Amino acid sequence: MTAHTSHHRRLSRPSAGRLRGLLRGLGVAIGLLAAPVSAAEPPSGGAHRVVSLAPSVTETIFALGAEDRLVAVSSYCDFPPAAAGLPRAGSYLQPNVEAILGFEPDLVLGVPTPGNRAAVEQLRRLGLAVVMVSEDTVADAWSAMRTVGKWVGRSERAEELIARVQAEIEAVRRAAESRPRKRVLFVVGHDPLVAAGDALFLDELIDAAGGENVGAIGRGSWPRLSLETVVAAGPEVIIDGAMGTESSAAGEQSLLAWWEPYRSVPAVREGRVRAQRSNALLRPGPRLGVAARELFALVQGEPAPTPGPTPGAVAAPEARPPS
Amino acid sequence: MSAPPVQAVSQVTLRSALLLHVGGALALGCAALFGLAIGPVDIDPLAAWSAPADDPTHVILVGARLPRVLLAALVGGALGLGGAGLQALLHNPLACPHILGISGGAALLGILAMIAAPLPAVAALGVSGDVALAMVPLAAFVGALATAGLVRGVASASGRVTPHTLLLTGVVFNAFAAALITFINSLADFYRAHGILAWVVGTLVVRGDAWTWAAGATLAAGLALLTASARDLNALALGEEGAVSLGVDVGRARRRVYLAVALLVAGAVPVSGMIGFVGLIVPHAVRLVVGSDQRRVLPASLWGGAVFLVLADTAARTALGPTELPVGVVTALCGGPFFLYMLRRQGRRELAA
């Protein structure tokens, strides 16, 4: 079995390799900070047995029509629906090294997280091609799509996909341009108050949808804001995902109840605390355009105008507007 | 540790306990005013107090800061008192709800209840969301009590229970509980994961009046139980044989202290997670001031814990500007060095006791 031989290979490494391993780990750690991190060059025609460790990467592979190359995905990968039926290789935060080896992949694609650092390093040490793509900002997302496209032999389609999604976001931006801008807070948790920060793609999408991201006062991707800072900033729209994507009517009631004591906040006073239940908003992949449209609806309180046909559009299942 | 004659419930000690409560309340009042005045947003507290109810500064003062300060006082008092009770009972300066695994047990069952509450299966049982959430403090209490019993049971399986086996068992159980909570975290979705992580480190969470009342009520019950046990605890400072010779029912005293600590922890954990070091260092700090008579140490630890956590939470809210630090980080940053200082100061003699 692959797992067994790899284990054996690892044991037979020279013992002096410990320091080297350490240095290499340091190198990997430094490498992970740069984005995107690419290993060598893809085989001609791209990899054929791909394990995806991140939902956005899985969505990109489907959007590029390369899903037949996917042998396993992370347990968070649930879109498009066909992805949910694929074998699992551990979670987005904690990939399962043995399971991954068992799929005998020729490529592992993922997004660097604090939790998968060790596993990624181990997979590389075992000689696997591991490509990690950053996806914090919108620019990161484009370059991630490009990298994924290159590695699955779909570079051209990746460019088409990027152009299409960029056009979708631009359409949202144009629709929002003529409207007064609103202060918008996007939170995913109350205890503590975790908000979309300035280093996150959502910051740019909120801007496109006609909002000023209040969460940008906290630095980073998901800062924990102090409640009084939020009260002082007085957001006019609060997009609240604290109930998760399975929220119910009762859940939305409890969201409103949570904000109720902070009546000085315009969003609370004027009834613009809106539940966020779409996971497209947390996936910086091919559904970024969908996310921008959903944000427009949440910020403006009305659906985004239907876009005209986009030149060079790639037919993809996820292009349908939000329900 | 020296203990005064157990039978001497003189007017003097009663008066000094009363004095301690008055002084403690005054100190807490000062700390609370400080906590209300300080925060990442600059406001004039007096103007904010008299501002209209929908003015942002008023909301910041009354809606955001006041509940946090109140909660910090309740939780800090509960943890300080619980630590003092356990240290006296076990005659060991390392004892506290955290190290004995009691916080871990409470957090584990509490978090399970919290995760289970919104599940459709629970709703199908006819338990609505709010009622189900109210089960969390109860689950935490069961967890705390069960852990106390379990840790004690395991430690006594090898015959005589020494404080050392008890502490070791507690440490191991706490690590086990933390691992289980991390496991639950890895199953939880993105939205919940932040909350669970913050909980493990220790974060004050204002969950609404019902939970604050629950914390206050368990604090009062724990305080009453421990105060009633103060004399027994003084006797136990002489060792179990000594206490028995003074006519103390050691088993009953022990059960009372564990019950009191479980109550205190069950009130604190659902609204604050696993805040460390408060129960460990506050009793040490107050013993420096009031001596080792439990009738003084217990009330002083109550007020000392409250003051400490109010100040620590003020730092947690303020230090990093618009973003917040988990208060457990602040208590550990203060508590670690202070504990090392105490170790050096007291030498190895007391630890070996």
- The total of other beta-carbon atoms located within 10 Å of residue B19's CB is 12
Question: How many cross-chain Cβ pairs, A to B, lie less than 8 Å apart?
Answer: 98
Write down the CATH number for the domain with range B11-346.
1.10.3470.10
Do A223 and B322 count as a contact with CB atoms less than 8 A apart? Answer: yes
pLDDT in tens, A189-246: 888 899 999 999 999 999 999 999 999 998 888 999 999 999 999 999 999 987 765 5
- Which of A97-106, A248-257, B254-263, B282-291 bottoms out in mean pLDDT, i.e. has the lowest? A248-257
DSSP A245-292: TT--HHHHHHHHHHHTT-TTSHHHHTT-EEE---GGGG--STTHHHHH
Query: Between β-strands A224-225 and A273-275, what pairing exists: parallel, antiparallel or unpaired?
Result: unpaired
Query: Between β-strands A182-189 and A193-195, what pairing exists: parallel, antiparallel or unpaired?
Result: antiparallel
Low pLDDT (below 70) residues in chain A? 1-40, 244-248, 250, 307-323
Q: Do A180-319 and A2-153 fall under one CATH topology?
A: yes
Euclidean distance between CA atoms A138 and A288, whole angstroms: 8
Q: What residue spans define the domains of chain A?
A: 2-153, 180-319
* A-interface mutation test, from B62, B201, B324, B327, most A Cβ less than 10 A away: B324
| pLDDT for the residue A31 | 45
Do A250 and B129 count as a contact with CB atoms less than 8 A apart? Answer: yes
Do A189 and B191 count as a contact with CB atoms less than 8 A apart? Answer: yes
pLDDT in tens, A5-19: 344 433 333 344 444
Do A226 and B326 count as a contact with CB atoms less than 8 A apart? Answer: no
Model confidence at B321, pLDDT cuts 50, 70, 90, reads: confident
Euclidean distance between CA atoms A231 and A100, whole angstroms: 46
Q: Which of B40, B58, B192 sits opposite A244 (nearest CB)?
A: B192
| Chain A residues near residue B39 by CB distance under 8 angstroms | 226, 228
Mean pLDDT of chain B: 85
Euclidean distance between CA atoms B196 and B193, whole angstroms: 5
Model confidence at B130, pLDDT cuts 50, 70, 90, reads: low
> Looking at residues B297-317, what average pLDDT do you find?
95
| pLDDT for the residue A15 | 42
The fold for domain A2-153 equals: Rossmann fold (3.40.50)
Model confidence at B12, pLDDT cuts 50, 70, 90, reads: low
B35 contacts B28 by C-beta, under 8 angstroms: no
How would you label B168-184 residue by residue, b for 16+ Cβ within 10 Å and e otherwise? ebbbebbeebbeebeeb
Min Cα distance B103 → chain A (Å) is: 19
Min Cα distance B315 → chain A (Å) is: 12
Do A264 and B186 count as a contact with CB atoms less than 8 A apart? Answer: no
Comparing alpha-carbon positions, the chain A residue that sits nearest to B68 is A227
Do B58 and A251 count as a contact with CB atoms less than 8 A apart? Answer: no
| pLDDT for the residue B295 | 87
Do B198 and A234 count as a contact with CB atoms less than 8 A apart? Answer: no
Of B235, B218, B230, B283, the closest CA to residue B80 belongs to B283
Architecture of domain A180-319: 3-Layer(aba) Sandwich (3.40)
Question: Distance of alpha carbon A272 from its chain centroid, rounded?
Answer: 26
B315 contacts B307 by C-beta, under 8 angstroms: no
What is the residue whose two structure tokens read 């208060």? B327
Q: What residue spans define the domains of chain B?
A: 11-346
Q: Does B40 touch chain A (CB under 8 A)?
A: yes
Q: What percent of chain A has pLDDT over 90?
A: 59
Comparing alpha-carbon positions, the chain B residue that sits nearest to A234 is B56
On the question of pLDDT at B348 being above 80, the answer is no
- Which of A40-44, A216-220, B139-143, B224-228 bottoms out in mean pLDDT, i.e. has the lowest? A40-44
Helices (H), B237-293: 240-245, 250-272, 278-290
| Chain A residues near residue B191 by CB distance under 8 angstroms | 188-189, 241-245
In Å, what is the CA distance from B223 to each residue of A33, B84, B295, B304? 51, 11, 12, 14
| pLDDT for the residue A44 | 82
Out of A265-269, B138-142, B225-229, give the one with best mean pLDDT: A265-269
